[in-house]
């Protein structure tokens, strides 16, 4: 090296080196369970380049860093559960932060400019290859999820005041939810099939699963709480609705690069508004009909 680097710079280089070592292994690990050969080859190539970057930094730090297995394991689990599209794009967000570090290094370590260019190219390549099956059915998942959240949250809110018994509310909601799940899944199948979709069964499956998971989460508070705690069950149900919407909105925001805030506000606003209206209808129905359980 032409000049001695500062302790701060060496510390930063070591951090970048560790990051490259980890990501080289993460890309290789995820490539190991991807069926698409083209995607697999691209990830393995990126893995090899990340390893080269780590070796370049090692020339400055004079250290040979080991892979942090817990970090690799974390991203591998995320990729298997939430899909490699979500995992890799979430990782790329971290690489964008790393690019800022590279920019600060260029004056002192010129090779950082080339590595920064490689990282930017990685992002473009990843965006080009990621065409995961589950994301092809996001529309079906949105249909099942949004319909369940709007319809069942409204139904449960209305039943809460009308019946005032968590067990009866849960039973009514469960029957309604299962029936609606089968109805939505079959409707999605018929709709997709009429459009000539060869994967109509998968579309129906994704719709049904999204609907059923939402139903289970919303009914759970009514099953767990005492029969007289119907108002607390209602509050927890609405909290579950907001949490489900937040998680799903975040997933889509990362995987499809959409606005989290816009999607979340829209879905939460509709669901909670319908629940509020249904709750009022439940109160009026109880008073007008004189139902007392």
Domain extent listing, the chain: 7-131, 135-289
- pLDDT score at 123: 67
Q: Is the pLDDT of residue 1 over 50?
A: no
Q: What percent of the chain has pLDDT over 70?
A: 84
Give 153's contacts (C-beta < 8 A, 6+ positions apart). 218, 237, 238, 241, 271, 272, 274, 275, 278
Measured in whole angstroms, how far is the alpha carbon of residue 165 from the centre of its chain?
34
Measured in whole angstroms, how far is the alpha carbon of residue 107 from the centre of its chain?
38
| CATH 1.20.1280 given to domain 7-131 | no
Average pLDDT over residues 219-244: 90
Q: Which contacts (CB < 8 Å, 24+ apart) does range 213-218 have?
A: 214/144, 214/145, 214/148, 214/149, 214/152, 214/244, 215/148, 215/152, 215/173, 215/174, 215/177, 215/178, 215/180, 215/181, 217/244, 218/148, 218/149, 218/152, 218/153, 218/156, 218/173, 218/177
C-alpha to C-alpha distance for 138 and 244, rounded to whole angstroms = 15
C-alpha to C-alpha distance for 49 and 65, rounded to whole angstroms = 16
Gyration radius of the chain's alpha carbons: 25
Quick check: 217 and 244 in contact, CB under 8 A? yes
pLDDT digits (tens, 9 = 90+) for 75-114: 999 888 878 888 888 887 766 555 566 666 777 777 777 7
- pLDDT score at 226: 92
- pLDDT score at 97: 58
Average pLDDT over residues 146-152: 76
pLDDT digits (tens, 9 = 90+) for 194-226: 877 777 887 788 788 888 888 888 899 999 999
Mean pLDDT across the chain, nearest whole number?
Answer: 80
């Amino acid at each position: 090296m032409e000049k001695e680097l500062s302790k701060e710079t060496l510390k930063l280089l070591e951090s970048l080196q560790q990051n490259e070592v980890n990501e080289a292994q993460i890309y290789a690990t995820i490539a190991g369970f991807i069926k698409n050969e083209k995607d697999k080859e691209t990830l393995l190539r990126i893995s090899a380049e990340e390893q080269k970057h780590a070796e370049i930094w090692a020339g400055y730090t004079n250290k040979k860093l080991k892979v942090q297995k817990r970090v690799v394991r974390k991203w591998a689990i995320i990729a298997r559960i939430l899909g490699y599209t979500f995992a890799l794009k979430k990782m790329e967000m971290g690489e964008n932060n790393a690019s800022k570090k590279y920019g600060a290094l260029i004056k002192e370590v010129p090779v950082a400019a080339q590595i920064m260019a490689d990282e930017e190219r990685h992002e473009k390549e990843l965006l080009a290859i990621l065409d995961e099956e589950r994301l092809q059915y996001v529309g079906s998942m949105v249909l099942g999820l949004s319909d369940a959240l709007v319809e069942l949250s409204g139904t449960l809110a209305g039943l809460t005041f009308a019946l005032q018994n968590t067990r009866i509310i849960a039973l009514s909601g469960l029957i309604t939810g299962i029936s609606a799940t089968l109805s939505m899944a079959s409707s999605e199948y018929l709709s997709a099939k009429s459009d000539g979709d060869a994967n109509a069964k998968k579309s129906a499956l994704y719709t049904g699963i999204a609907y059923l998971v939402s139903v289970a989460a919303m009914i759970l508070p009514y099953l767990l709480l005492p029969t007289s705690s119907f108002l607390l069950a209602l509050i927890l149900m609405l909290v579950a609705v907001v949490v489900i919407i937040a998680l799903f909105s975040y997933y889509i925001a990362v995987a499809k690069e959409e606005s989290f805030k816009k999607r979340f506000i829209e879905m939460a606003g509709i669901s909670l508004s319908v629940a509020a209206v249904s709750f009022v209808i439940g109160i009026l129905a109880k008073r007008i009909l004189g139902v007392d359980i």
